[in-house]
Amino acid sequence: MPRHAAALLLACCAALPPGVLAADTQRPEVGVAAAALQERVVAWRRDIHQHPELSNRETRTAAKVADHLRGLGLQPRTGIAHHGVTAVLRGGRPGPRLALRADMDALPVTEETGLPFASTATDTYRGQRTGVMHACGHDAHTAILMGVAEALVGMREQLAGEVLFVFQPAEEGAPEGEQGGARLMLEEGVFADFRPDAVFGLHVFSTLNADTIGVRAGPTMAASDRFGIRVIGRQTHGSRPWGGVDPIIAAAQIVNQSQAIVSRQMDISAQPVVLSFGAINGGIRYNIIPDAVELVGTIRTFDEDMRADVFRRLGAVAEHVAAANGATVEARIPAEEGNPVTFNNEALTARMRPSLEAAAGTGKVVDMPLVMGAEDFSLYAREVPGLFFFVGATPVGVDAATAPSNHSPKFDVDESALDLGLRAMLQATLDYLDGDAGS
C-alpha cells in the first residue's frame, strides 16, 4: 500500500472509536483501503489468472500468497493439505476470532475469453491433456483476500480480536486417488491452534451483476457427491456385435434411464435434486466394441434422506440395466465422501447483512435462491458458524441470466467485482470484530 494511503487509513482508524458507526454505514477506512489497494488487487488477479493451477497442484499460487503474507510481517504456515497457506493477524485490542477463507485452484477448462491475460496453461487431468483456466473465479477470491489481509495489517493497532487468513487448495475436488481441500485442511489442523468464533467466505458469481451481492440464510448451496460407474461387457469386432457384450449400449441406457430418478421418483416439490453425467469414456477404435465404459457424474441434494435415496436408486438402475444387456457394473455411488450442504448460520447472516449492504449500497444486496452448485466451505461451516455470500461477476448492463456461467470457457469476472468483494469482506470483518454488526 502506498505510504500516503496507509497514513490516511491509519488516521481514519485512529479518529474513530470502536463501534462509532452504524453497521449500515460504510466505514471510511474501508473506502480508503479499497481505493489504495484496487490496482494491486487487479494485478494479482490477472497474474493468478494467467498462471492457473489444478487442484492439489497450486505451487506457484501458494508461493505468491505466502510471499505476500511474509511481506506484510505475518508468519504464514504453508504446506497444509499439500499447498494450503494460513496466517494469523492479532489486533491491538481484545475481541473475537474470525477466519476468512479463499480458494486457489483452477479447472481443467481451455480458456476462450480472449483476454490479454488469458491462460495458455495446460496439464493432464484424468489421463487427458487439457487447458487449465480459472473458470470459477478463484483467482478473484485469492486476490481479494490478499487485499483484505494487507488492509487489516495496516489497521493492526486499532483492530479488535484476531483474524485467521485461510488460502485453500483443491476446492474443486482433489484428483482421483488423492485427498485435499477443506476436509484435509481440517484434518491437518487448520482450526486446531486457532479455533475461530465464525468463518466468512465469498464467491464471484455470473448470475449476479457486478454491483450486487447475494446472500441467503440457512441452506444455501447443495450437497455434492461424485459417482463412478464402470460398465463391463466383452470386447468384439464392430461387424459382429453378437460375438460380445456391448457396454456402450448398456451405458447409454443407464444414462437415459437414470434421468427418471429425478423426474419421476424424487419429490422435487420438497427439495431440488440434480443428477448429471459429466464424462463417458470407452473404446478407442471405430470398429471395435470395447470391454468397458466408464461413467462419472455428480449428485446434488439438500436433504440427507433424498441424498441416500438417489444413491440407492442410481445403483439399482446401473445394475439392472446392465444385466438386461448381459453386462455387469462396478458402481461407486458415491465415489468418496462428498461435501455437505453449505449452511449459513441464520443469526450470523442476519447480523452481517447490514455490513454487506453498507459495502454494496441500498438495494444492492439480494436474497439468493437455492444454489445447486456446491462448496467445501460447508465443512468449515459445520465446525463454526459460517457466512458465505456471492459477489456479482457480470458487468452492469449485461443480462446476468445469459452471461457465460461459472465453469464456462468464456467465464470472466468484471474487475469492479474485486473492489466490491474487498469492501464487503473488509466491512463485514471489521463490524464482526468490533461486535457492533447488526446492532
Write the DSSP assignment of 387-419 as a string of letters. Answer: EEEEEEEEPTTS-TTTSPPTTSTT----THHHH
Write the DSSP assignment of 19-76 as a string of letters. Answer: T-S-TTS--HHHHHHHHHHHHHHHHHHHHHHHS---TT--HHHHHHHHHHHHHTT---
305-332 burial code (b ≥16 CB/10 A, e <16):
ebbebbbebbbebbbebbeebebbbebe
Q: Which three cell numbers stand for residue 394?
A: 457480470
Catalytic residue among 171, 376, 414, 436: 171
Alpha carbon distance 86, 58 (integer Å): 14
Catalytic residue among 29, 105, 412, 434: 105
Rounded to the nearest 5 degrees, what angle is found at the Cα of 109, between the Cα atoms of 104 and 114? 95
Amino acid at 188: E
For residue 271, the tally of other CB atoms under 10 A from its CB is 17
309 a catalytic residue: no
Alpha carbon distance 40, 33 (integer Å): 11
For residue 3, the tally of other CB atoms under 10 A from its CB is 7
Instruction: Report the DSSP beta bridge partners of residue 80.
Output: 84
End-to-end distance of the chain based on CA atoms, in angstroms?
Answer: 32
171 a catalytic residue: yes
Q: Which three cell numbers stand for residue 393?
A: 461477476
Alpha carbon distance 424, 410 (integer Å): 26
Q: Are 205 and 391 in contact (CB under 8 A)?
A: yes
Q: Which residues are catalytic?
A: 105, 171
